[in-house]
Amino acid sequence: MRKVSVRHHYAESPMQAGKKWDNVYVETPFRYGRKPSQIAKRLAAKIRPASTVIELGGGYGRDAVFLAKRGHNVISLDISEEARMAGIYFAKQEGVGDRIVFITKDVSAGLELGSVYANAVFANLFFNLVEPEQVAGLLKDLGGLLIPGGRLLFGLRTTRDVDFLEGETVFDNVKNCSGFTCYFYDDAEARELFMGNGFSSSRMEHTQETVAVAGKETTADLYIFELVK
């Protein structure tokens, strides 16, 4: 296992992270493009029609817009206020402003959302930003938000990902990705942390997907997870 206590020291505080992500979205608006992610397109078929979907780290809502256009209602959570404002504008422009609620929220701090229950929780390019120590607690909270049979769907970048192979090492499997602390996983660690955890079934699959960041395309190496409550 990793040396948790030492690595912990390197993570940004939520306030620092929020400000840094604000700057990213001010400097590169629509950083990941306006089109949905390949992961969203791939996993959308697993979401039942007319669902309530909670998105984690949804940015300015390119996947929320895609899911709303498929008939879902989306609650998109992100730590960046800039992302929220851009999302409101983008969703309105795309004609689905009434189907998406954008909320500025540090997801790692707990997920009390009142009486909201979801059929699905979705996340793209998000879970690698969560400190491994916080994963179990977050999965527990997410389980509490899902209705029975509801699905948690997300991708997780692996230690075969280009950002891991070429990135500046912070500690063990922790890298500095464009100024953000990123946690990468090999097969055993991904299974240990993300499978089970109170879900009735868990599937993990290896894949590669094209990701465009600020107009530059790379191939991300990922595990895709489908956890069913």
Ligand X SMILES: C[S@@+](CC[C@H](N)C(=O)[O-])C[C@H]1O[C@@H](n2cnc3c(N)ncnc32)[C@H](O)[C@@H]1O
**Site residues (CB under 6 A) for ligand X?**
14, 17, 21, 32, 37, 57-59, 62-63, 77-80, 83, 106-108, 124-126, 129
Q: What residue number has its CB nearest to ligand X?
A: 57
- In angstroms, give the least distance from the CB of 148 to ligand X: 26
Distance CA 185, CA 53 (A): 26
Distances, alpha carbon 44 to alpha carbons 72, 74, 120, 201, in Å:
10, 13, 10, 18
- Shortest spacing between CB 57 and ligand X, in angstroms: 3
| Residues 6 or more apart in contact with residue 62 via CB below 8 angstroms | 30, 32, 33, 34, 35, 36, 37, 90
Q: Which residue, 40 or 227, has its beta carbon nearer to ligand X?
A: 40
Q: How many CB atoms are located within 10 Å of the residue 184 CB?
A: 23
User: Smallest gap, in angstroms, from Cβ of residue 32 to ligand X?
Assistant: 4
Give whichever of 204 and 213 is closer to ligand X, judged by the CB atom.
Answer: 213
Smallest distance from ligand X to CB 109, Å: 7
| Residue number with CB closer to ligand X (23 or 201) | 23
Between 90 and 199, name the residue whose CB sits nearer to ligand X: 90
Q: Which is nearer to ligand X, 191 or 207 (CB)?
A: 207
For the chain, report the end-to-end CA distance as a whole number of angstroms.
Answer: 27
DSSP 117-148: -EEEEEESS-GGGS-HHHHHHHHHHHHHHEEE
Q: What is the nearest approach in angstroms of ligand X to the Cβ of residue 66?
A: 10
Crossing angle of helices 187-194 and 132-145, rounded to 10°: 40
